[in-house]
Amino acid sequence: MAALAPHPQGGETTADAKPLLQARGLRKTYADREVLCGVDLTLHPGELVAVLGANGSGKSTLLRCIVGLTDQDDGDLTIGGTEVAGLGGKALAGVRQEVAMVFQQIHLVGRRTVLDNVCAGALGRLPLRRSIAPVLFPREVRAEAMSCLDRVGLADRANDRAGRLSGGQQQRVAIARALCQRASVVLADEPVSALDPAAADHVVSLLRDLAREGYAVAAVLHQPDLGLRYADRIIGMVDGRITLDRPATDVVRTDVDALYAAPAAAPAAEVTA
């Protein structure tokens, strides 16, 4: 397997390394219901963090606020040492590029090739005309995308239509696309909820391997056992608050059970962003 260029933070695997992401006091209210109640989250290079919690506890909202898909009402976000508040235009886009998101619904263009889908990760740094009509990606982007595909073990499927791949393979393509974005932080929202156990194991172990290369990775999981097996740190959310934040080796079954014990609050009326 060809090695990707080492990540700038590569090799540092301890909490002593500078954080790649810091969220402080994130708050979000939908209708009259506060779904993030002042959440703090720090992600370091080299760690895979599993985010656990019952339905509706705020896990997706937390990731969506961090990646910029949802506007938080309050709180500060620092990405790669740069505070996001007050940034605009190119500076904001550049900082946002550092964080890639992988979803449960994989969002590949099924009729385009696997390679094209991975190249799409580079759109944010291509000239506008390429972004509008990304029919032919530049050779260097295609080479980088091949390297990212190789990293997830799918180089031999580069020219297949993405829609022909299995769910687990498609999720690995989505991860390759995040790598092609050159993000240093990868957030994954239920990346394995639609996968069978073997494919789920493969994807989470891949996320763990990326962390080992120096990425900061956080994955929302509805499979606590996978989190305990692969993650370095477990974060647990209950009703918009982080109630558990501990090395996975220090987490016991009753800690996990407590996250799922409280009855889920009724959903708020739907609001856009």
Binding site for ligand ATP (CB under 6 A): 30, 35, 53, 55-61, 267-268, 270-271
Q: Could you tell me the smallest distance in angstroms from the CB atom of residue 98 to ligand ATP?
A: 22
Paired tokens of 205 = 């172990």
Least CB distance to ligand ATP at residue 252 (A): 22
| Smallest distance from ligand ATP to CB 257, Å | 16
Query: Would you say 191 or 214 has its CB closer to ligand ATP?
Result: 191
The DSSP bridge partners found for residue 77 are 23
Closest CB to ligand ATP among 135 and 269? 269
Task: Name the residue nearer to ligand ATP (CB basis): 214 or 240.
Answer: 240
Q: Which is nearer to ligand ATP, 35 or 231 (CB)?
A: 35
Cβ 164 to ligand ATP, closest distance in Å?
Answer: 28
For ligand ATP, the closer CB: 121 or 227: 227
Would the CA dihedral through 89, 94, 98, 102 be positive or negative?
Answer: positive
Least spacing, CB of residue 212 vs ligand ATP, in Å: 26
Q: How far is the CB of 63 from ligand ATP (least distance, A)?
A: 8
Comparing CB distances to ligand ATP, the nearer of 61 and 223 is 61
Nearer to ligand ATP, 132 or 273 (CB): 273
Sign of CA dihedral 64, 66, 71, 75: positive
Question: What are the distances in angstroms from CA 135 to CA 62, 138, 142?
Answer: 34, 10, 12
Q: How far apart are the first and last CA of the chain?
A: 40
- Asked if 146 and 173 touch (Cβ cutoff 8 Å), the reply is no
Q: How far is the CB of 244 from ligand ATP (least distance, A)?
A: 14
